[in-house]
């Protein structure tokens, strides 16, 4: 190094290796810090990947201090989520031709880069965009070019191997791993895929642009244009999102007409509706009627009323409840009711100004409401153990040998710190916590200058340092 020679060390297989490792980590649920829930299925994934591949998630995570949020994608299908996750992790995913439009629309809802970006000529030969920095808006010229290409741009490869199966080749090597231990049904995309994962893997290694194999007739297929159609039969709206994280429960009411304020406050939930197509698709009333969580009055930072909290609970239950019967997993309606009865007042009582600023005075839109529940990081360790049981029943956690309590009923907290995002269910805990901010140490040791924020700590201190004196005093 001393001779000044500059060596360029190149990792030839960096991209493929990187993607493979990422997918492996996902498969092993290693370092996962966010869980997507859809139709009763859970997908432990990484914020980094989601943020990288989706401005939607990036903005969400930026504004949500949750350590391990659980995001319920309400208006998406589990297979769509699986495909999008596979796409984000591997850069490719297999999708049945008939499901292409649906997948694209889902990608647009989540602003998945490469899929959600409207077709436009790529500025240059691209590599995997999914792992590029996620900064920039969709209008950003530096944003990744769309992966879906028109036939003119696909290098004229009509009728290749993927097409014969009527599959859009988006299959990835790592798309094969189970998306979740709670996965109850394998993706149809893979079931229909004749290629083995290894073959797919090899294919990906051979070409980073397997998406280019999108067949011309696939794109010319009528359904492929539904992403530009505002009134597709398939109900596609802004996904109801429930983020379970630290204790906090919020209802975020989004008004598509107030995108600016939403942007200003950093919450990009409304961006889903910023797209006119999607927005219109959701304003046909079907979504609202279906979800029934629309709050009739404008959002106010006030505790939720009974009916509102009921709607909140319902929304969460409904969001978490999938075909596999997540109601049972959640412990039954009664328990859930109790759980969310305990969160009354969380709808607007939060002091998270950054979340609230852009929401005040806005007319609520049910399809744009996001319910944000915070789940403390510590509990995220309980969470996998809890949900590790059968998602279809309550056995998984009610009788779990570790004695884990029901997360929804035991970790919903009511008191929040004005200095940080801390929440607790008891005022005492909050008082103790507040002392950490104020520096108040009301408990002074009578034998030394030691002071403590908690009496118990002082007692411990005395028992360890001044036990003799304390015994003498007690004896006198």
Task: Note the residues at the interface with DNA (CB under 7 A).
Answer: 376, 378, 405, 410-411, 413, 422, 424-429, 431-433, 435-436, 441, 450, 452-457, 459-461, 464-465
Least distance in angstroms from the C-beta of 415 to DNA: 8
Least distance in angstroms from the C-beta of 398 to DNA: 15
Least distance in angstroms from the C-beta of 132 to DNA: 32
233/401 with CB nearer DNA: 401
138/441 with CB nearer DNA: 441
Least distance in angstroms from the C-beta of 422 to DNA: 5
189/415 with CB nearer DNA: 415
Tell me the three-class secondary structure of the chain, residue by residue.
Answer: CCCCCCCCCCCCCHHHHHHHHHHHHHHCCCCCCEEEEECCEEEEECHHHHHHHEHHHHHHHHHCCCCCCEEECCCCCHHHHHHHHHHHHHCCCCEEHHHHHHHHHHHHHCCECCCCCCCCCCCCCCCCCCCCCCCCCCCCCCCCCCCCCCHHHCCCCCCCCCHHHCEECCCCHHHCCCCCCCCCCCCHHHHCCCCCHHHHHHHHHHCCCHHHHCCHHHHHCHHHHHHHCCCCCCCCCCCCEEEEEEEEEEEECCCHHHHHHHHHCCCCCCHHHHCHHHHHHHCCCHHHHHHCCCCCCCCCCCCCCHHHHHHHHHHHHHHHCCCCCHHHHCCHHHHHHHHHHCCCCCCCCCCCHHHHCCCCCCCCCHHHCEEEEEECHHHHHHHHHHHCCCCCCCHHHHCCCCCCCCHHHHCCCCEECCCCCCEECCHHHHHHHHHHHHCCCCEECCCCCCEECCHHHHHHHHHHHCHHHHHHHHHC
271/453 with CB nearer DNA: 453
Least distance in angstroms from the C-beta of 435 to DNA: 6
Least distance in angstroms from the C-beta of 74 to DNA: 27
207/436 with CB nearer DNA: 436
213/433 with CB nearer DNA: 433
169/452 with CB nearer DNA: 452
351/459 with CB nearer DNA: 459
307/427 with CB nearer DNA: 427
Least distance in angstroms from the C-beta of 19 to DNA: 31
Least distance in angstroms from the C-beta of 396 to DNA: 18
Least distance in angstroms from the C-beta of 404 to DNA: 10
């Amino acid at each position: 190094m001393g001779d000044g020679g500059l060596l360029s060390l190149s990792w030839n297989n960096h991209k493929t290796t990187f993607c493979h490792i990422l997918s492996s980590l996902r498969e092993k649920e290693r370092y996962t810090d966010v869980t997507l829930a859809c139709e009763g299925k859970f997908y432990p994934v990484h914020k980094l990947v989601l943020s990288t591949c989706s401005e939607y998630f990036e903005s969400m995570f930026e504004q949500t201090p949750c350590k391990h949020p659980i995001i319920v994608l309400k208006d998406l299908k589990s297979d769509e989520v699986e495909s999008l996750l596979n796409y984000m992790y591997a850069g490719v995913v297999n999708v049945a031709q008939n499901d292409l439009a649906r997948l694209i629309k889902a990608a647009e809802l989540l602003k998945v880069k490469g899929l959600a970006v409207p077709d436009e000529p790529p500025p240059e030969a691209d590599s995997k965009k999914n792992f590029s920095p996620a900064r920039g808006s969709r209008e950003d010229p530096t944003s990744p070019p769309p992966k879906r290409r028109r036939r003119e741009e696909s290098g004229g490869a009509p009728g290749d191997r993927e097409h014969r199966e009527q599959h859009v080749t988006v299959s990835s090597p790592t798309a094969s791993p189970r998306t979740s231990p709670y996965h109850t049904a394998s993706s149809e995309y893979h079931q229909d895929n004749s290629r083995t994962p290894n073959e797919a893997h090899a294919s990906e290694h051979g070409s980073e642009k397997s998406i280019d194999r999108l067949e011309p007739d696939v794109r010319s297929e009528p359904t492929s244009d539904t992403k530009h159609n505002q009134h597709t039969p398939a109900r596609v709206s802004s996904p109801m999102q429930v983020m379970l994280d630290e204790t906090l429960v919020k209802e975020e009411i989004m008004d598509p007409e107030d995108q600016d304020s939403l942007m200003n406050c950093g919450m990009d939930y409304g961006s889903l509706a910023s797209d006119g197509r999607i927005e219109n698709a959701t304003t046909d009333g079907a979504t609202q009627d279906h979800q029934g969580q629309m709050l009739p009055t404008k959002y106010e930072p006030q505790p939720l009323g009974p009916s509102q909290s009921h709607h909140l609970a319902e929304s969460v239950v409904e969001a978490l409840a999938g075909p596999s019967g997540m109601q049972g997993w959640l412990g039954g309606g009664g328990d859930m009711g109790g759980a969310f009865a305990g969160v009354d007042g969380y709808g607007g009582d939060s002091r998270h100004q950054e979340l609230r600023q852009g929401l005040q005075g806005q007319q609520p839109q049910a399809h744009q409401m996001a319910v944000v529940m915070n789940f403390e990081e510590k509990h995220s360790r309980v969470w996998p153990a809890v949900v590790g049981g059968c998602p279809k029943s309550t056995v998984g956690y009610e009788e779990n040998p570790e004695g884990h309590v029901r997360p929804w009923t035991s970790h919903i907290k009511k008191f929040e710190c004005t200095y940080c995002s801390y929440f607790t269910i008891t005022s005492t805990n909050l008082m103790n916590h507040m002392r950490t901010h104020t520096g108040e140490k009301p408990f002074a040791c009578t034998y030394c200058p030691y002071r403590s924020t908690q009496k118990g700590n002082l007692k411990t201190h005395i028992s360890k340092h001044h036990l003799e004196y304390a015994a003498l005093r007690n004896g006198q």
